[in-house]
């Protein structure tokens, strides 16, 4: 074999060709079939091909070894140049153009483009070709002059050899024109169709360059267009060298990826670590744009203005909508400067062909939580997992230069909790429900928000009614309620009270300043709750020791319609009854046993019940020291057994009414009713009587309320206390009943509870 | 309608808007038999309308649309929810799915409502358009998967 000297370019080209022909991956022999295909693609006459194969020695060998292959290629180049095929001339010919092969595959062009780019900017684009090489499916690709900028016009004149196959001049011309701006030069020398082949590549070569240049200038659209036109020209299957060939899509893809890899390379070279990071000049640009819409940099851009602005970017509405969702961090329908920059950056990225992320990248997240509506409640931040620092800076919305906010990554992880807050904040229901005392404990939230809006044992109808009257005062501002917590001994009641502040805090996030301001006294409790999210009952234990082990309270199907009961669901009030209120008041233990005993003894004997409750009551005893009604209850207790089943009201009333005017009445009534609830069915009529009595006595209350405010409040407080006491008692009685009497006892209770529920 | 059209563990959520009641969003898990659920949602709208027209007070409350047995052969529960702007949310669950309790349904509705308001806040969303928000989709899918 004759020795063959190849230029670097040729060497590379030939090796690539060989690889493509090396179907068997033998690395040594190119399959005959492919080689012949290749040669035929050179568009030389068959005789020439045969001659070449003969010359290179393949015929002798019977296969194409690498050297034969290379020789053959060189001969092809010769032939295509119109030079006589002589082995001797192989090495003598200088500046021999690379052999051209006409193939119908698109990859050719892209590869060409790549190759060109590589040739042109070897240093820059080297990473790409390897990728491209793999893309090569067909052996033949063309590496034309662009690799050798100094190529003389000679190849052009030889193009007639390949001309027949290259038909559509128009497209390349159009394309050429486009590229002409970039390349210039050789383009003019392509008069004939075959020549057309060349310019595309030559032009393709500068393409990436310009693309890069454009990218660096942050003007993506032109890049896209240039590449788009790349493929816009009508496809021609016989023009592999024309980029607009059979499969424009793949070309586009290829070019896009090439652009993007270019960009990546550039960005890497420019030191970008994060593709989503905003550079300083970008940031400045965004800020300027922001100013055109909203002069105040700390202000907000309303959604409509932002919509108009971003619609100008000509992105599809769906994508703009997605960008908005990503960038409007606080979901307020307006963009702060940070959010605006993030949105703008996403738009720019999208226009450059980047896909929109599913979640907002960290570098684009706004630095500050927009919680200034909630008047800087630090707990939520901790709740959500943020470090305290950003929250403290919360009120300041000023756009400082974007730096990667380390705290925000936590946001990603605590999305659930964040969502919780946004739920709270964005849901008007929370507010309304708050008002209407329906604040269901959202199982999704990690924080249990007990709602102690009313200390109503929902079981008893009259209690509810009365509390409704007085309770409305308590629902909103919770200061009176919060004053209660120390008095509340029961776990359930504590939970109830916690729920209230919890809810309000949640609402506080929802930019209800009034709540936050009102909840000062609550906030302390809230904080406690916050720190024990989801363990509010335990948290409340700090306030007052909870009563005996809570009896598990299953969901009450009956009372499920009453959201209030759901609030207490977390509270194991210890009774399985259906509408049991979780507000066991700070019941003075002593009366309880006596009262619980009453049902057993039909309100007469207390003996049996006492021992049963002694175990439980003592625990409660130390916990309610400051219960003013203690004595009162004792009085009750004493009276109760002595009373007849019917209407003990009068006697007891007389005794009790003196210490406390209005409250005792209902309390007593309730006690009475509770007692009567306990026993058997025959007590039902009595119970209803009692209830009627209580209801009748209720009107008397307002009269006394007409007195001075303090007395009213005191009476209210006492009322509440008694309520809780009664509720507690009720629950215990229920429990006892269940244990002792069994299902029948329960049945007797249900009729009473049902009307309550409907209230 | 064949019996037992409702495969086990089925949940479907539909949102219909305004007075015109055209569907904004329908999604079901699993996705077979979706057409049947479309029909169910559509028919349940009547019941919803009836309820909201009858109840003058307490607008926007979470009303329950517990149908129990719609047809003798059908066994799924349809829950409804109406917002103040007459946007109706409908959840259809398989009756065999006894694990879903009322509170859970309520919380699902609340989540739906919140997500819906987030979608509404998007200035690029025109009320009345089908909801194509990915965030909304993800929330709904997560919720339905959790419910099944």
Tens of pLDDT, residues A639-675 = 444 444 444 444 444 444 444 444 444 445 444 444 4
- By C-alpha distance, the chain B residue nearest A416 is B139
H helix runs in A555-663, sequence order: 563-567, 591-600, 609-614, 617-620, 629-642, 649-657
**What rounded mean pLDDT belongs to chain A?**
55
Sorting pLDDT into bands at 50, 70 and 90, what band is A429? Answer: very low
- For the cut 70, the answer to whether the pLDDT of residue A413 exceeds it is no
Instruction: Verify whether the Cβ–Cβ distance A321 to B110 is below 8 Å.
Output: no
Tell me which chain A residues have a C-beta less than 8 angstroms from the C-beta of B125: 321
Q: For residue A719, what pLDDT is reported?
A: 92
Nearest to B114 among A306, A427, A432 (CB): A427
The answer to whether the CB atoms of A426 and B118 lie below 8 A apart is yes
| Residues of chain A contacting residue B60, judged by C-beta atoms under 8 Å apart | 429, 432
How far apart are alpha carbons A52 and A31 in whole angstroms? 16
Please compute the mean of the pLDDT values over residues A397-413 and round it to a whole number.
43
Predicted ipTM > 0.85: no
Q: What is the mean pLDDT of chain B?
A: 70
CA-nearest residue to B107 within chain A is: A442
> Where is pLDDT greater, at A25 or A249?
A25
Domain ranges of chain B: 2-147
A441 Cβ contact partners less than 8 Å away, ≥ 6 residues apart = A448, A449, A450, A451, A499, A566, A567, A569, A570, B103
pLDDT at A425: 44
> What sign does the CA torsion over A272, A277, A279, A280 have?
negative
Give mean pLDDT, residues A17-26.
Answer: 67
Query: Average of pLDDT values for A692-698?
Result: 51
Best A325, A340, A447, A560 residue to mutate vs chain B (most B CBs within 10 Å) = A325
Mean pLDDT, residues B53-77: 50
The pLDDT of residue A723 is 92
> What pLDDT does B131 receive?
82
Residue A462 has pLDDT above 70, yes or no: no
pLDDT one-digit tens code per residue, A531-562 = 444 444 444 444 555 556 655 555 444 544 45
Q: How much is the average pLDDT of A297-324?
A: 84
Question: B129: which strand partners?
Answer: B127
Report how far residue B128's alpha carbon sits from residue B64's, in angstroms, rounded to the nearest whole number: 25
On the question of pLDDT at A19 being above 60, the answer is yes
Has residue B33 got a pLDDT over 60?
yes
- Whether residue A509 contacts residue A374, with contact meaning beta carbons closer than 8 Å, is answered with yes
Q: What is the pTM of this model?
A: 0.34
- The pLDDT value recorded for residue A524 is 44
SS3 state at A191: coil
Residues of B engaging A, defined by a Cβ cutoff of 8 Å:
60, 64, 101-104, 106-107, 110-111, 113-114, 117-118, 121-125, 132-135
pLDDT of residue A475 exceeding 50, the answer is no
Q: What is the mean pLDDT of residues A166-189?
A: 42
- Interchain pair B118, A307: CB under 8 A: no
For residue A305, the model assigns a pLDDT of 85
Kindly tell me if the per-residue pLDDT of B102 is higher than 50: yes
| A336 pLDDT above the threshold of 50 | yes
Task: Given CATH 3.40.309.10, say whether it is the number of domain B2-147.
Answer: no
pLDDT digits 0-9 by tens, A101-122: 765 444 444 444 444 444 444 4
pLDDT at residue A178 tops 60: no
Q: Is B24 helix (H, G, I), strand (E, B) or coil?
A: strand
The per-residue pLDDT for A59 is: 63
At residue A52, does pLDDT exceed 70?
A: yes
Our CA-based measurement puts residue B38 at a distance from the nearest CA of chain A, in whole angstroms, of: 25
Q: Which of A317, A432, A555 sits opposite B101 (nearest CB)?
A: A555
Selected residue with higher pLDDT from A98 and A494:
A98
The structural domains of chain A, ordered by start, are: 8-89 (1.10.238.10), 280-352 (1.10.238.10)
Kindly report, residue by residue over A716-747, the tens digit of the pLDDT: 999 999 999 999 999 998 888 888 876 554 44
Contact B105, B13 (CB under 8 A): no
Question: Residue B28 phi/psi, 5° resolution?
Answer: -140, 150
3-state SS, residue A553: coil
Distance, C-alpha A657 to centroid of its chain: 60
Kindly provide the b/e burial profile for residues A287-317, where b requires at least 16 CB atoms within 10 angstroms of the residue's own CB: beebeeebeeeeebbebebbbebbeeeebee
């Amino acid at each position: 074999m004759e020795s063959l000297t190849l230029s670097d370019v040729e060497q590379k080209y030939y090796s690539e060709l060989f690889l493509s022909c090396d179907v068997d991956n033998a690395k040594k022999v190119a399959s005959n079939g492919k080689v012949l295909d290749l040669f035929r693609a050179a568009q030389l006459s068959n005789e020439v091909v045969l001659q070449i194969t003969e010359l290179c020695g393949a015929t002798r060998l019977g296969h194409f070894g690498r050297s034969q292959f290379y020789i053959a290629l060189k001969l092809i180049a010769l032939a295509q140049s119109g030079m006589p095929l002589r082995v001797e001339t192989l090495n003598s010919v200088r500046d021999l153009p690379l052999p051209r092969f006409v193939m119908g595959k698109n990859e050719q062009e892209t590869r060409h483009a790549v190759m060109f780019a590589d040739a042109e900017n070897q240093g820059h684009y080297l990473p790409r070709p390897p990728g491209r090489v793999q893309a090569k499916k067909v052996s033949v690709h063309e590496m034309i002059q662009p690799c050798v900028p100094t190529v003389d016009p000679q190849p052009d004149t030889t193009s007639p050899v390949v001309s027949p196959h290259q038909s559509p001049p128009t497209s390349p011309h159009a394309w050429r024109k486009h590229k002409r701006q970039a390349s210039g030069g050789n383009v003019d020398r392509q008069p004939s169709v075959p020549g057309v082949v060349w310019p595309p590549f030559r032009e393709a070569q500068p393409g990436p360059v310009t693309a890069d240049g454009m990218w660096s200038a942050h003007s993506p659209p032109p890049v896209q267009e240039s590449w788009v036109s790349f493929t816009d020209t009508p496809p021609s299957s016989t023009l592999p060298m024309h980029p607009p060939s059979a499969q424009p899509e793949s070309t586009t893809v290829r070019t896009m990826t090439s652009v993007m890899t270019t960009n990546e390379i550039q960005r890497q070279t420019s030191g970008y670590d994060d593709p989503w990071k905003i550079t300083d000049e970008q940031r400045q640009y965004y800020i300027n744009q922001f100013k055109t819409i909203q002069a105040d940099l700390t202000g907000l851009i309303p959604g409509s203005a932002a919509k108009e602005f971003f619609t100008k970017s000509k992105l599809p509405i769906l994508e703009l909508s997605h960008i908005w969702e990503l960038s409007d961090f606080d979901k307020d329908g307006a963009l702060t400067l940070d959010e605006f920059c993030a949105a703008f950056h996403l738009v720019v990225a999208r226009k450059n062909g980047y896909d929109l992320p599913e979640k907002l990248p960290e570098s684009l997240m706004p630095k500050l939580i927009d919680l200034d509506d909630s008047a800087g409640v630090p707990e939520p931040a901790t709740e959500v997992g943020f470090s305290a620092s950003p929250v403290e800076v919360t009120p300041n919305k000023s756009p400082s230069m974007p730096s990667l906010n380390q705290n925000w990554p936590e946001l990603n992880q605590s999305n659930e909790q964040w969502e919780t807050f946004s739920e709270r904040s964005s849901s008007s229901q929370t507010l309304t429900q708050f008002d209407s005392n329906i604040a269901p404990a959202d199982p999704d939230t990690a924080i249990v928000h007990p709602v102690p809006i009313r200390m109503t044992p929902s079981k008893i109808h009259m209690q509810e009614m009365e509390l409704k009257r007085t309770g409305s005062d308590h629902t909103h501002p919770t200061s009176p309620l919060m004053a209660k917590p120390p008095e509340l001994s029961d776990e359930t009641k504590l939970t109830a009270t916690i729920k209230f502040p919890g809810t309000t805090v949640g609402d506080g996030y929802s930019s209800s300043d009034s709540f936050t301001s009102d909840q000062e006294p609550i906030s302390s409790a809230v904080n406690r709750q916050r720190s024990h999210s989801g363990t509010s009952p335990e948290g409340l234990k700090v306030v007052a020791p909870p009563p005996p082990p809570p009896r598990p309270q299953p969901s009450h199907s009956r009372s499920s319609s009453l959201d209030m009961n759901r609030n207490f669901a977390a509270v194991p009030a210890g009774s399985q009854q259906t509408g049991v209120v979780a507000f066991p008041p700070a019941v003075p233990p002593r009366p309880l046993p006596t009262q619980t005993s009453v049902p057993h003894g039909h309100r007469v004997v207390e003996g049996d019940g006492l021992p049963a409750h002694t175990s439980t009551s003592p625990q409660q005893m130390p916990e309610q020291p400051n219960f003013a009604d203690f004595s009162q209850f004792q009085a009750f207790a004493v009276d109760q057994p002595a009373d007849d089943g019917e209407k003990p009201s009068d006697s007891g009333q007389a005794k009790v009414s003196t210490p406390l005017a209005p409250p005792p009445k209902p309390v007593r009534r309730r006690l009475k009713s509770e007692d009567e609830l306990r026993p058997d069915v025959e007590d039902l009529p009595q119970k209803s009587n009692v209830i009627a009595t209580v209801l009748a006595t209720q009107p008397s209350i307002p009269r006394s309320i007409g007195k001075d405010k303090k007395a009213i409040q005191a009476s209210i407080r006492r009322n509440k206390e008694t309520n809780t006491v009664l509720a507690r008692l009720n629950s215990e009685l229920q429990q006892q009943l269940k244990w002792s009497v069994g299902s029948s006892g329960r049945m007797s209770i249900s009729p009473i509870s049902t009307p309550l529920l409907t209230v | 309608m064949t019996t037992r059209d409702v495969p086990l563990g089925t949940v479907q959520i539909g949102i219909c808007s305004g007075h015109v009641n055209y569907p904004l969003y329908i999604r079901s898990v699993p996705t077979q038999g979706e057409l049947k659920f479309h029909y169910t949602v559509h028919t349940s709208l009547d019941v919803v309308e009836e309820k909201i027209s009858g109840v003058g007070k307490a607008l926007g409350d979470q009303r329950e649309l517990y149908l129990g047995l719609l047809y003798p052969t059908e066994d799924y529960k349809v829950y409804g929810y109406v917002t103040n702007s007459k946007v109706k949310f409908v959840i259809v669950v398989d009756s065999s799915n006894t694990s879903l309790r009322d509170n859970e349904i309520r919380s699902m509705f609340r989540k739906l409502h919140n997500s819906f308001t987030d979608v509404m806040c998007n200035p690029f969303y025109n009320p009345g358009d089908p909801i194509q928000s990915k965030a909304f989709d993800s929330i709904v899918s997560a919720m339905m998967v959790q419910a099944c």
